[in-house]
Amino acid sequence: MKINYNITGPKRKSLVGAISLELNAPTIYLGAPTFAYEVGGYHIDKNGMLEGEDNPNLVADLQGLHDFKAITEEYDTPLPEPEPVPEDIQIPYEAALGGRVSPCHDYEEPPVYVEPEQSDEVETNRLTIDLPRSSFTDMALENLKRLVESKASLIKKALATDCIPIMTTEESISFPWFQGELTSDEVKAYTHFVTALCETAKTQQRVNATEKQVENEKYAFRCFLIRLGFVGFEYKAERKILLKNLTGNSAFKNGAPSKAEEVMADE
């Protein structure tokens, strides 16, 4: 489907947040040059065009629950014709007005001040992953911060960045950790990494924030990834992406054994 909302700036970000809430999926900001968002398999371009599999219920909820009305709607499979409404049906006065009747409706209310819209295109070429704040308890959020702090050095090196802030607002938790041109496989791996961090933080009772020094970076981080759920052949490509910037040997804690050691072990 292609649903055109024709909105930019803060309004588009609010639309993306509403989609994330309805789909219960993380938000991925792709940065330059597209300035697009991806949420749960749906693509939202810089002009507010929503594309993905047909989901008329999502479109209806975005309008009914979040006041986002589409300019045009195009579906891959035509929607069934709506049932006709009888001409003599009685509609209550309040319902005809949308159910919002103010005791002071005869008086004109002052306009609400709205901040001027800002273009998303001023943002840097950075992939940002957002999750709804409502899906975290205060304890889960604190656990998340401690979990990231406990592996901060390894995470920074693995992601080739010197800064891994966790940005929190009333609506969302953001991870603006990823920079540069990224492949679809890298976006997939990084999204899984962030969501796995969050799920682990939600299930832990208490997390130790103390960071330990390691000699074999790849082995230590591979163990951490396995703890997060990156287990099995299906996550081999993602583990490879997340380990590529680290040093050491991912299979042996003390490095690969020498040939002489292997012979002695065989004997």
21 and 98 in a common domain:
yes
CA distance 230 to 249: 17
* 55 occurs within a structural domain: yes
* 1 occurs within a structural domain: yes
Q: What is the number of domains present in the chain? A: 2
212 and 110 in a common domain:
no
Residue 257: what pLDDT? 63
236 and 169 in a common domain:
yes
174 and 75 in a common domain:
no
Q: Where does a domain end: 79, 96, 123?
A: 123
Tell me the residue range of the domain where 44 lies: 1-123
35 and 3 in a common domain:
yes
Residue 112: what pLDDT? 42
The arithmetic mean of pLDDT across residues 99-118, rounded, is 46
161 and 96 in a common domain:
no
The arithmetic mean of pLDDT across residues 250-262, rounded, is 63
Q: What's the pLDDT tens digit per position in 120-168?
A: 544 555 788 999 898 899 999 999 999 999 999 999 999 999 899 999 9
Higher-confidence residue of 83 and 143: namely 143
1 and 118 in a common domain:
yes
260 has a pLDDT exceeding 50:
no
Band of pLDDT at residue 33, cut at 50, 70 and 90: confident
pTM of the model: 0.66
Q: Where does a domain end: 99, 123, 147?
A: 123
246 has a pLDDT exceeding 90:
yes
* 258 occurs within a structural domain: no
3 and 31 in a common domain:
yes
Q: Where does a domain end: 123, 142, 160?
A: 123
Band of pLDDT at residue 61, cut at 50, 70 and 90: very high
* 264 occurs within a structural domain: no
163 and 66 in a common domain:
no
CA distance 118 to 185: 31
14 and 49 in a common domain:
yes
32 and 97 in a common domain:
yes
Q: What's the pLDDT tens digit per position in 168-227?
A: 998 889 999 988 888 889 999 999 999 999 999 999 888 888 888 888 999 999 999 999
Residue 117: what pLDDT? 47
Three-state SS letters, 131-179? EEHHHCCHHHHHHHHHHHHHCHHHHHHHHCCCCCCCEECCCEEEEEEEE
* 199 occurs within a structural domain: yes
The arithmetic mean of pLDDT across residues 49-53, rounded, is 94
63 and 113 in a common domain:
yes
CA distance 148 to 209: 8
